[in-house]
């Protein structure tokens, strides 16, 4: 496949084209990903999540600059928040991050979190494969800390930076609600503002209570992305975390788990497609919903009957 060779050679237009293919779920996607797969596994995939406005994009911006100084090729995938109210912020992001886009060794792409069966992980996971095969050393994935995408980011990345800022008032509540699990490295950004040190102490306190066994590796860093402070220290903490993770086999384990999830996702997607095609779901779903609405069947009875038909037809029953 010509496209594969171009991607392996780092051709930016081919990379962009390939990401569109996986995003739009085009037929060529499967062959492409399978051909790229053996060339993957070299990039470090870093998730960045945290509340809206905590400075994630500004931080990524500064991390790009630092990593370029270190001679690394850097890619960024920014997952658009699905809320239409964030339109301005997204545009701001694009413009802000765009100043690196034409620089050699930096690739930036935004992706929609909407419209993918199984949330962001399918399409984004495949986009990561494209970038990994294209020999980017570091791939940042920025998502806004809202619900499902937060959890998915753990699945598709090697390490997650959870960005927190002083002054939101509900940080610790958020931490208690399980967000703590998501972050591997906690970044207290906006350390130039009041309350940053206090927040750091609080985060460390919560980490100490929750930390046991393997979780001991979690650390807390302080940055001011705006003033470009603490960036090198953050990268050092990151390196330390990743070194530890790879030397104790954790990274490999994490990546294998990711493949397990991928297999599950592909199975669900494929089976869904097949059943959907056979049952002509698009055509009949509204009719069935009517039946259920008017109490003719319960949803389980209806679906069980349809699936039984499908299995019989394929001599599986």
Ligand X SMILES: Nc1nc2c(ncn2[C@@H]2O[C@H](COP(=O)(O)OP(=O)(O)OP(=O)(O)O)[C@@H](O)[C@H]2O)c(=O)[nH]1
Contacts with ligand X by CB under 6 A lie at 52-58, 86, 89, 93, 144, 189-190, 192-193, 224-226
Of 93 and 150, CB closest to ligand X: 93
Determine which residue in the list 57, 143, 223, 224 makes contact with Mg ion, applying CB under 5 A.
Answer: 57
Binding of Mg ion by 113 (CB under 5 A): no
113 binds, options Mg ion, ligand X, none, Cβ within 5 to 8 A by partner type: none
Residue placing its CB nearer to ligand X in the complex, 35 or 65: 65
105 binds, among Mg ion, ligand X, none (CB under 5 to 8 A by kind): none
Bridge partners, residue 188, by sequence:
164, 222
Convert residues 75-104 into a mask of x (bound to Mg ion by CB under 5 A) and - (unbound).
------------------x-----------
Q: Which does 250 bind (CB under 5 to 8 A by kind): Mg ion, ligand X, none?
A: none
**Closest-CB residue for ligand X?**
55
189 binds Mg ion (CB under 5 A): no
Residue written as token pair 């953050």: 234
Query: Residue 89 or 275: which CB sits closer to ligand X?
Result: 89
Q: Report strand pairing: 74-80 vs 106-112.
A: parallel
Binding partner of residue 54 among ligand X, Mg ion, none, CB cut-off 5 to 8 Å per kind: ligand X
DSSP string for 12-58: HHHHHHHHHHHHTT-THHHHHHHHHGGG-S-SEEEEEE-STTSSHHH
Q: Which is nearer to Mg ion, 56 or 258 (CB)?
A: 56
Q: DSSP of 70-123, one letter per residue?
A: TT--EEEEEEEPS-GGGHHHHHHHHHHHHTTTTSTTEEEEEEESTT-TTTTHHH
Instruction: Rank residues 184 and 189 by Cβ distance to ligand X and give the closer one.
Output: 189
β-partners of residue 49 are 162
- Which of ligand X, Mg ion, none does residue 118 bind to, with CB < 5 to 8 Å depending on kind? none
Strand partners for 162: 49, 186
Fill in the DSSP letter of residue 216: G
Residue 39 near residue 8, CB atoms below 8 Å:
yes
We find the least distance from the C-beta atom of residue 135 to Mg ion, in angstroms, to be: 26
* Contacted entry of Mg ion, ligand X, none for residue 58, CB cut-off 5 to 8 Å set by kind: ligand X
Distance CA 77, CA 94 (A): 11
At its nearest, how many Å lie between ligand X and the CB of residue 195?
A: 12
Residue 218 backbone class (left: φ over 0; alpha: ψ -120 to 50; beta: rest): beta
Catalog residues that contact Mg ion under the rule CB under 5 A: 56-57, 93
């Amino acid at each position: 496949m010509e496209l594969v060779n171009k991607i392996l050679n780092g051709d930016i237009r081919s990379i962009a084209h390939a990401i569109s293919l996986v995003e739009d779920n085009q037929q060529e996607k499967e062959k492409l990903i399978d051909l790229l797969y053996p060339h993957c596994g070299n990039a470090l995939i870093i998730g960045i999540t945290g509340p809206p406005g905590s400075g994630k994009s500004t931080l990524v911006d500064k991390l790009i600059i630092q990593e370029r100084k270190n001679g690394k090729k850097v890619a960024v995938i920014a997952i658009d928040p699905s809320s239409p109210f964030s339109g301005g912020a997204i545009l701001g992001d694009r413009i802000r991050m765009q100043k690196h886009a034409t620089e050699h060794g930096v690739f930036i792409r935004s992706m929609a979190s909407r419209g993918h069966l199984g949330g962001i992980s399918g399409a984004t996971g495949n986009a990561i494969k494209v970038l990994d095969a294209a020999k980017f050393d570091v791939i940042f994935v920025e998502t806004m800390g809202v619900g499902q995408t937060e959890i998915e980011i753990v699945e598709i990345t090697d390490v997650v930076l959870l960005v927190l800022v002083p002054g939101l008032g509900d940080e610790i509540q958020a931490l208690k609600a399980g967000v703590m699990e998501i972050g591997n490295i906690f970044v207290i950004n906006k350390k130039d503002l009041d309350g940053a040190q206090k927040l750091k102490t609080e985060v460390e306190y919560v980490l100490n209570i929750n930390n046991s066994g393997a979780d001991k590796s979690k650390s807390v860093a302080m940055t001011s992305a705006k003033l470009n402070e603490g960036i090198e220290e953050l990268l050092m903490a990151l390196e330390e975390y990743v070194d530890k993770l790879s030397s104790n086999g954790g990274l490999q384990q994490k990546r294998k788990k990711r493949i397990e999830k991928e297999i599950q996702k592909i199975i669900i997607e494929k089976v869904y497609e097949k059943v959907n095609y056979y049952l002509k779901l698009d055509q009949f779903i509204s009719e069935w919903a009517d039946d259920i609405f008017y109490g003719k069947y319960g949803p389980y009875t209806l679906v069980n009957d349809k699936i039984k038909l499908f299995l019989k037809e394929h001599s599986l029953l």
